A = this chain, B = another copy of it.
Amino acid sequence: MKKGLVIVNTGNGKGKSTAAFGLLLRAWGRGLRVCVVQFIKSETGKWGEIKAAQKLGIDWFTTGDGFTWTSKDMDETVARAIAGWEVAKEKIVSGNYDVIVLDEFTYAMHFAWLETNQVIDWLKSNKPTELHLVITGRDAPAELIEYADLVTEMTEVKHPYQQGILAQAGIEF
């Protein structure tokens, strides 16, 4: 049996979720069974990647409420992260997928909405050996990096916001 990789895309730059999405599509292109459990972001359907996934019939579970750094209702945000982790656990043990992306999941650990060691311990005990798991987000905890097989840090070298260019539909979201 092949060992499924635990992949972490972290850092302050672009491309963490986008690379996870690209990996998902690559896997889908080979006929693997894939899904996304998306933390933080809300189900507005305004995201290009969700539109693409819908077109492709890829399972995509949004669990967030559109949390931003100015969110007022942190109780709701935390409750959604905890509920999202329950969704993720269910998908992980389901046997229905070869590749699962937990998008923006690092925040739940970084902000201690979930206990990092409990998450890692659960994964060590319950993740099917052959399942590939991709986790994205800034500030990946050290315990997660230790547990992961493949960790990439995306670093912002130059960003158009610096030049006053706004984010554009279809490119950055």
User: Does A98 belong to the interface (CB within 8 Å)?
Assistant: yes
Give Cα A20 to B98, complex, Å.
22
Contacts of A55 in B (CB 8 A): 29
Contact B151 A11 (CB under 8 A): no
A30 to chain B, nearest CB (A): 4
**Interface residues in A52-102 (C-beta closer than 8 Å to B):** 52-56, 98-99
Contacts of A163 in B (CB 8 A): 149
Selected contact of A160 from candidates B50, B54, B149, CB within 8 Å:
B149
Q: Which residue of B lies closest to A166 (CB)?
A: B2
A150 to chain B, nearest CB (A): 5
Q: Which interface class (under 10, 10 to 19, 20 to 34, 35 or more) fits A?
A: 35 or more
Contacts of A32 in B (CB 8 A): 170
Give Cα A99 to B24, complex, Å.
20
Contacts of A56 in B (CB 8 A): 56
Contacts of A170 in B (CB 8 A): 26-27, 29-30, 32, 98-99
User: Does A171 belong to the interface (CB within 8 Å)?
Assistant: yes
Contact A171 B99 (CB under 8 A): yes
Contact B171 A160 (CB under 8 A): no
Give Cα A167 to B99, complex, Å.
15
User: Beyond the given A19-B154, A27-B171, A132-B171, could you list 9 further A-B residue pairs with CB under 8 A, ordered by the A residue number?
Assistant: A9-B15, A15-B19, A15-B152, A21-B22, A26-B49, A29-B170, A98-B170, A99-B171, A153-B157
